[in-house]
Amino acid sequence: MSLPGLQLSAPPEPVVASAIHELNQNTEWRFETAFGSHVEVKLLSGTAEIFGTELAIKQPYTFNGTKAAVYTWHGCRIEVTGECLVEYIAEENPMISYANTHFALEQLRGKAILEGREGPRVMVLGPENAGKTSLVKILTAYATRTGRQPVVVNLDTKEGMLSIPGSLSASAFSSIIDVEEGWGSSPTNGPSQVPVKLPLVYYYGLANPEENTKIYKPVTTRLALSVMSRLQEDQEAKEAGCIVDTPGVISQGKGNYEVIQHIVSEFAINVIIILGSERLSSDMVRKFNGQKTSTDDTITVLKLDKSGGCVDRDESYLKQYRQAQIREYFFGDSKITLSPHTQQVDFNQVTIYKLAELPPSSALQHSILALMHADANDTPENIRDASVIGFVYVAEVDEKKKKLRVLAPLSGRLPNRAMVWATWPEGGTELVG
């Protein structure tokens, strides 16, 4: 086609390859897409789900920087447009045992309702990339599909759940999980414009719990106290119980499993699921199986097979993933655009803590600060144990004028609360010019 008056030809539309896949019952199409390249998946017929959440028929879902699988119980046809890094159909998968685990949890929920007690408190353990987060998503999705409202807890600070990496968070899930974004890093995530999932967030600020158990353990305790009181006060959460995702590193521990023990006692965990490690499973059976929780429930340890689809994620992928989570926190995702604002604040208007109070300096440039529900002059312990109001990004530090330019996901003056600066998620990325 030529453009009128210019005799120029419009560049040809790039040809994007499309393919149709027929999946037999109980099989899955596994795929990986690169960051920056978009792959569209459409369910043409039959039924299918991604990590437990059903796909709507004929609706296009777009993936970018994703590793996942479209699973079908009864068979389906899907159309895939765009180029995947890896894609194949897998006949063997552990989905039947994962669904059976959901039904076993449902039985525990039924029993707890009859007895007027809390539903199961489930913890998923296993080494890195064993599929823990994927299993937590599947169990959560099946529970919400059954009409339950479980409280999901993320104790893995390498990734964020409805928050950015570095945080520990909990949220009651009553609606479906977004198949394109997974948990998402922003509370406004999901198909609805209404922020349906409001997480409670605490900040640890390091990737590995064992780097500083003196902070990790008390912060976990605070989160556990809130979750346990929610389970007592909110009938729907009480019936469904909670599902706790954990960092892989605590399962690879050199034998003492101190952090695991702490989580089990603080959340009164009574179902421990082990993925992908015989040794861990036998250690956990020896340590916990048949023991009583503080609420007088008996602990059951269960081993499940790791999915052959779990992929090891290298550091460069994980770094891009974290950056994408941070961007999404401030700017939204493909469906919901947020309107972040930058503002100037004087050095003397902010109080920043690292492990002790810290004067603002250019070292803060391009880092993330957690704004805490704590007074600027509170004690370091109270600040550490406080929950997070939100995060800001330091766009610029002017040491001469003693001013910071900060980006916040919402407009409005920064409240005069204590702020915490930690090393995780790593700074250094330029979010705004």
Annotated binding site for ATP: 28, 67, 129-134
Q: Does 307 bind ligand ATP (CB under 6 A)?
A: yes
Which residues lie closer than 8 Å to 405 by C-beta, 6 or more apart?
Answer: 342, 343, 344, 394, 395, 396, 397, 398
Nearer to ligand ATP, 120 or 131 (CB): 131
Residue from 21, 33, 52, 67 in contact with ligand ATP (CB under 6 A): 67
Subset of 25-64 contacting ligand ATP (CB under 6 A): 28, 30
Min separation Cβ 247 and ligand ATP, Å: 6
Subset of 103-162 contacting ligand ATP (CB under 6 A): 126, 128-134, 156, 158-159
Nearer to ligand ATP, 68 or 326 (CB): 68
Residue from 184, 309, 332, 425 in contact with ligand ATP (CB under 6 A): 309
Say if residues 136 and 151 touch (Cβ distance below 8 Å): no
Q: Tokens 């409280």 — which residue?
A: 151
Say if residues 332 and 338 touch (Cβ distance below 8 Å): yes
Nearer to ligand ATP, 131 or 390 (CB): 131
DSSP 251-288: GS-SS--HHHHHHHHHTT--EEEEES-HHHHHHHHHHH
Residue from 39, 41, 43, 68 in contact with ligand ATP (CB under 6 A): 68
For the CA atoms of 169, 172, 174, 175, what is the dihedral angle to 10 degrees? -20
Binding mask 235-264 for ligand ATP (x = CB under 6 A): -------------x----------------
Give the binding range for ligand ATP (CB under 6 A) out of 16-24, 202-210, 302-310, 394-402. 302-310
| Alpha carbon distance 74, 158 (integer Å) | 35
Nearer to ligand ATP, 47 or 343 (CB): 47
Q: Does 277 bind ligand ATP (CB under 6 A)?
A: no
Say if residues 247 and 271 touch (Cβ distance below 8 Å): no
Q: Does 313 bind ligand ATP (CB under 6 A)?
A: yes
- The amino acid that residue 76 corresponds to is C
Among 24, 141, 137, 142, smallest CA distance to 72 is for 24
- The amino acid that residue 24 corresponds to is N
Residue 380: cis peptide before it, omega within 30 degrees of 0: no
Binding site members? 28, 67, 129-134
With b meaning 16 or more CB within 10 Å and e meaning fewer, what string describes 303-315?
A: bbebbebbeebee
**Taking CB positions, which residue lies at the least distance from ligand ATP?**
309
Nearer to ligand ATP, 128 or 375 (CB): 128
Binding stretches for ligand ATP (CB under 6 A): 28, 30, 67-69, 126, 128-134, 156, 158-159, 248, 307, 309-311, 313
